[in-house]
């Protein structure tokens, strides 16, 4: 036993909270070093075509300008890795075309020059003096305009995208009840508060970069290849990241160009993307169009499902929003077919955003299930219960730990679902239309692998533990989670633990993505702490007459408040500091690693689940939808920090409200640029849009997944939310909105007043 105050599963305050609210936490754009020069990137003002003239004379002669880089003087770069091959140390660029490589233009905003000057203002002014001439070419920025042809991608993340089991055509033809409906979601953008930013400098042939990244080792790999260096010669730091939601995993062109300019000038260079550049030069979630065909028996048992998806990708690069990863596994359906096709548009390559695949996938699937429940005259929860599989229908493997129906039961009780009257428009409150909807949340259990080192050393009269790993703190609570794991694992007050993260010189750790980092690092931290407990006990055994019942099993001892004791003689506890002192050792150290798991192993399928219950209130005269209540219950294995988990779930649900009602990156189809590329135009929920949100979880550890039993919970919160809202909107109005976001104009066009 470790003894002491039990921290795991309790609400623990952020150990970095004070640093964040006082401004002491430093983000990449804030890094100041002596002799720093400032870079501004110039973007193309056409979405397609070619640069036929570029005149940098005026920019070069402007005050303070140190360097103007274009495709003519950029110089060589090494090969840039593209795609996810190694999620710990591999790295990938955001687009395969190297920055400032040549003259073709693929999308609006594509970098055509970089201007570096003494001050940001000088760089910005000089950037405005770079003269460009383009030969424009035809383009499309939305799927509907894309000239095609669409093509079928093979696989993504090692998973086939075209899937078939059974005989869906025959099963559909013979079904008692059928549904055929098509859903659309628009381009969306992560739109994190912190802009993408990099600061780089060279000391001889060693490169140091501060980058707002969720993957310091990925950056290191990309930069090492780009500059022909061994990885040890590159150090990437990201101690704090101000939001990313997927958009800071791939290494952006600006990071490479910042390092290039710093080498050319022999001084540090900083680049901070403008808010507009964040929207045009960082990937977005692509548009999706999803057609579902369902067939079922009269009793609601699904016999056939077809899911045809079309999403967009970039002109040169492939990104797949894998919407069918959910439909293939969520319901027991013997006859299933999924197809996926891509069309190319003139936009930056799309990228991961907030449960990529699952978010638009669950919107369409869970909306279709709701429509089908009405067609079958069934309660939507009953329909889900009737089709709930115990084994993953796609892989055939049993789920390691699944409690979805318990989530529905508990959520239904907390929400009061039994009081719902199913008929649309039947729950008015005066002139206000009230609707209740449900939907399932789901996200796979990923563990990409990490090494965590724990060090215990003397500090003043006591000890201090330090936990070290390269993973980034992306705002989700990694510092706190590892601090509480070490405090619990070593039997120390949490104030006695320091956590160091976001530094490529630290032990190897996977990217902070795919909701995996806690699942990857917590078991490694726990194992390192167990190792140190063993080392401490051995030191104690080495002391003459120190502990009673010497050489008992380690589990017989208590490790609490920095002391080892035995329950038989609690007064004879020995402090860790004394053990270190008497052994003459300055510190003890241990390191442990976890091996990757991607949603399954030989025996199990690893998947998290949840149930959302939503109430909307709609003002029919103006078509305004307010989400007035949300109750969500999750099944994510063991929760380590109840406070951070609650915040994370709520954050995901707020994202879901944004997806359902507000978020859409709107392109000007005549000129090819996003017109709402700023924080005023790209709408996300504000406090007034968010009701009280009731989140809870089924606290069942998944010990088949890892030794701690936690599956990770970063992304599951958003999945299913938009469907639950759309389903509630239907219940309130009798109008089914199949294309997001659900804006007042769409509701008013549907005559919801009558
Ligand atoms: Mo997340 S969208 O996997 O960074």
Give 550-596 as a DSSP string. Answer: TT--GGGSEEETTEEE-TT-GGG-EEHHHHHHHHT-SEEEEEEEE--
What ligand 1 atom has the least distance to the C-alpha of 514?
3
Mutate to test the pocket of ligand 1, among 350, 513, 518, 718 (most ligand atoms within 8 A of CB): 513
Q: Which pLDDT does position 754 carry in this prediction?
A: 61
The atom number, within ligand 1, closest to the CA of 714 reads: 1
CB 486 within 8 A of CB 465: yes
- Please tell me the pTM assigned to this model: 0.97
Query: How many Å lie between the centroid of ligand 1 and the Cα of residue 320?
Result: 14
- Give the integer Cα–Cα distance in Å for 40 and 127: 7
CA of 356, closest atom in ligand 1: 2
Task: Answer whether 507's CB lies under 8 Å from 591's CB.
Answer: yes
Residue 665 Cα to ligand 1 midpoint, Å, equals 19
* CA 317 to ligand 1 center in whole angstroms: 19
**Nearest atom in ligand 1 to 355's CA:** 2
Atom of ligand 1 nearest to the CA of 246: 4
pLDDT means per 10 residues in the chain (754 residues)?
A: 72 97 96 98 98 98 98 96 90 97 98 98 98 98 92 90 97 98 98 97 98 98 98 98 96 98 98 98 98 98 98 97 98 98 98 98 98 98 97 98 98 98 97 98 98 96 96 95 98 97 98 97 98 94 68 84 88 91 94 97 98 98 97 98 98 98 98 97 97 96 98 97 98 97 95 70
CA of 511 to the centre of ligand 1 (A): 9
Cα–Cα distances in Å, from 323 out to 183, 362, 424, 612? 12, 8, 29, 19
Task: Report which protein residue has its CA nearest ligand 1's atom 4.
Answer: 246
- DSSP 8-state symbol, 421: -
DSSP string, 52-119: EEEE-HHHHHSTTEEEEE-TTT---------S-S-TTTT--BSSSSPTT--SEE-STT-EEEEEEESS
Two tokens, residue 366 = 């869970």
* Positions of E strands within 481-548: 497-500
User: 442, 716 in Cβ contact below 8 A?
Assistant: yes
Tokens at 362, concatenated: 């669950």
Q: Which atom of ligand 1 is nearest to the CA of 352?
A: 2
Count of helices and strands (H, E) across the chain: 17, 30
Q: Tell me the best of 354, 471, 713 to mutate to test the pocket of ligand 1, counting ligand atoms within 8 Å of each CB and taking the most.
A: 354
Q: How far does residue 249's CA lie from ligand 1's centre (Å)?
A: 8
Q: Which atom of ligand 1 is nearest to the CA of 244?
A: 4
Contacts of 141 (CB under 8 A, 6+ apart): 47, 108, 345, 346, 347, 667, 668, 669, 672, 673
The residue whose CB lies within 8 Å of the most ligand 1 atoms, and thus the one to mutate among 218, 356, 361, is: 356
pLDDT at position 702, please?
98
Q: 351 C-alpha to center of ligand 1: Å?
A: 9
Instruction: List CB contacts of 57: < 8 A, sequence separation 6 or more.
Output: none
Residues with CB under 6 A from ligand 1: 214, 245-246, 249, 352-354, 356, 513-514
What amino acid positions are annotated as catalytic residues?
A: 715
CA of residue 131 to ligand 1 center, whole Å: 38
Q: Which of 234, 233, 244 is nearest to 210 (CA)?
A: 234
Ligand 1 centroid distance, CA of 551 (Å): 47
In the reported structure, the alpha carbon of residue 122 is separated from the centroid of ligand 1 by a whole-number distance in angstroms of 36
């Amino acid at each position: 036993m470790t003894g002491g105050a039990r921290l795991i599963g309790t609400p623990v305050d952020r150990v970095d909270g004070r640093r964040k609210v006082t401004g002491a936490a430093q983000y990449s754009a804030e890094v100041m070093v002596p002799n720093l020069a400032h870079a501004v990137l110039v973007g193309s003002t056409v979405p397609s075509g070619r640069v036929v003239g570029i005149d940098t004379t005026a920019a070069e002669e402007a005050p303070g300008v140190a360097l103007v880089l274009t495709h003519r003087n950029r110089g060589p770069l090494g090969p840039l890795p593209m795609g996810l091959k190694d999620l710990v140390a591999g790295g990938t660029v955001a687009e395969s075309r190297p920055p400032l490589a040549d003259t073709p233009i693929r999308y609006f905003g594509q970098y055509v020059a970089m201007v570096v000057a003494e001050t940001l203002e000088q760089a910005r002014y000089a950037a405005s003096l770079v003269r460009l001439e383009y030969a424009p070419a035809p383009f499309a920025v939305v799927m509907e305009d894309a000239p095609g042809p669409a093509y079928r991608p093979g696989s993504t993340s090692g998973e086939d995208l075209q899937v078939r089991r059974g005989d869906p055509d025959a099963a559909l033809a013979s079904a008692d009840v059928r549904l055929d409906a098509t859903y659309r979601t628009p381009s969306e953008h992560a739109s994190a508060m912190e802009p993408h930013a990099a600061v780089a400098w060279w000391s001889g042939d060693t490169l140091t970069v501060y980058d707002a990244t969720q993957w310091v080792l990925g950056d290191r790999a990309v930069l090492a290849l780009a500059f022909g260096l061994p990885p040890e010669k590159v150090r990437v730091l990201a101690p704090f990241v101000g939001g990313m939601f997927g958009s800071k995993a791939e290494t952006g062109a600006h990071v490479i160009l910042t390092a290039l300019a710093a080498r050319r000038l022999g001084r540090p260079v900083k680049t901070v993307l403008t808010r507009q550049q964040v929207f045009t030069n960082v990937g977005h979630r692509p548009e999706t169009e999803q057609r579902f065909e369902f067939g079922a028996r009269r009793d609601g048992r699904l016999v056939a499902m077809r899911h045809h998806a079309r999403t967009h990708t970039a002109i040169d690069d492939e990104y797949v929003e894998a919407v069918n990863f959910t439909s293939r596994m969520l319901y027991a359906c013997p006859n299933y077919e999924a197809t996926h096709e891509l069309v190319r548009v003139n936009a930056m390559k799309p990228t991961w955003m907030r449960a990529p695949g699952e978010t638009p996938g669950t919107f369409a699937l869970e909306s279709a299930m709701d429509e089908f429940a009405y067609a079958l005259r069934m309660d939507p929860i009953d329909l889900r219960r009737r089709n709930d599989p115990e084994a993953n229908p796609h892989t055939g493997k049993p789920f390691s730990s699944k409690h979805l129906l318990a989530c529905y039961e508990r959520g239904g009780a907390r929400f009061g679902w039994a009081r719902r009257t199913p008929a649309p428009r039947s729950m008015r409150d005066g002139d206000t239309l009230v609707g209740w909807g449900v939907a399932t949340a789901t996200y796979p259990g990923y563990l990409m692998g990490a090494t965590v080192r724990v060090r215990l050393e003397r500090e003043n009269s006591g000890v201090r533990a330090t936990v070290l790993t390269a993973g980034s703190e992306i705002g989700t609570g990694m510092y706190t989670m590892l601090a509480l794991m070490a405090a619990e694992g070593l039997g120390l007050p949490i104030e006695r633990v320091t956590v160091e993260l976001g530094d490529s010189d630290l032990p190897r750790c996977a990217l902070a993505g795919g909701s995996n980092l806690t699942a990857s690092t917590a078991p490694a931290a726990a194992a390192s702490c167990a190792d140190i407990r063993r080392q401490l006990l051995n030191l104690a055994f080495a002391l003459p007459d120190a502990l009673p019942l010497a050489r008992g099993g380690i589990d017989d001892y208590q490790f609490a408040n920095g002391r080892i004791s035995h329950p038989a003689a609690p007064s004879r506890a020995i402090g860790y500091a004394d053990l270190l002192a008497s052994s003459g050792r300055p510190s003890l150290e241990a390191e442990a690693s976890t091996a990757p798991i991607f949603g399954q192993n030989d025996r199990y399928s690893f998947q998290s689940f949840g149930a959302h219950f939503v109430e909307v209130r709609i003002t029919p005269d103006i078509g305004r939808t307010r989400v007035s209540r949300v109750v969500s219950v999750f099944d994510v294995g063991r929760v380590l920090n109840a406070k951070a988990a609650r915040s994370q779930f709520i954050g995901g649900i707020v994202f879901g409200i944004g997806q359902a009602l507000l978020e859409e990156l709107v392109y000007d189809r005549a000129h090819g640029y996003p017109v709402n590329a700023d924080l005023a135009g790209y709408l996300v929920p504000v406090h007034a849009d968010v009701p009280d949100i009731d989140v809870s979880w089924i606290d069942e550890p998944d010990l088949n997944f890892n030794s701690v039993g936690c599956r990770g919970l970063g992304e599951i919160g958003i999945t299913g939310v938009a469907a639950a809202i759309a389903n509630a909107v239907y219940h309130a109005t009798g109008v089914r909105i199949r294309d997001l976001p659900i804006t007042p104009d769409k509701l008013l066009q549907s005559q919801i007043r009558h």
